[in-house]
Amino acid sequence: MLESSALKTPVLSRQRLDAATERVTLGLPSRHPDVRPGQAIQVQLADGRPFFSVAGLQPGASLELHVTRRRDSRSNPQLFAALDAGSLQISLPHGAIALTDDRRLPDILIASQSGYAQSRAMLDWMARRRPGHRCRLLWQASSGYLAAERPWLEKLAAAWAGLSLTLLPLDEHDALNEALAALPSPSTQGLAVVSGSSHFLDAARHALRRHRYTLLSDQNPAALPSIEQENALCR
Looking at the chain, the domain(s) classified CATH 2.40.30.10 span 5-94
Mean pLDDT rounded to a whole number for the chain: 85
Q: Sign of torsion, CA 67 72 74 80?
A: positive
The segment(s) of the chain belonging to CATH 3.40.50.80 are 108-234
Give me the sign of the Cα torsion angle 44, 50, 51, 54.
Answer: positive
> What is the C-alpha separation between 123 and 1, in angstroms, rounded?
23
pLDDT digits (tens, 9 = 90+) for 137-168: 999 999 999 999 999 999 999 999 999 999 99
**Residue 28 DSSP one-character state:** -
Reply yes or no on whether the pLDDT at 2 is more than 50. Answer: no
pLDDT-above-90 percentage for the chain: 44
What is the C-alpha separation between 219 and 202, in angstroms, rounded? 10
Architecture label for domain 108-234: 3-Layer(aba) Sandwich (3.40)
Given a contact cutoff of 8 angstroms between Cβ atoms, the answer to whether 79 and 65 are in contact is no
CATH classification of 5-94 is 2.60.40.1180, yes or no?
no
Strand arrangement of the beta sheet that strand 135-141 belongs to? 163-169, 135-141, 108-112, 190-195, 213-217
Distances (CA, A) of 213 to 5, 59, 184, 205: 34, 33, 11, 9
| Higher-scoring residue by pLDDT: 217, 17 | 17
- Cα separation, 60 vs 47, whole angstroms: 31
Q: Around Cβ 52, how many Cβ atoms within 10 Å?
A: 13
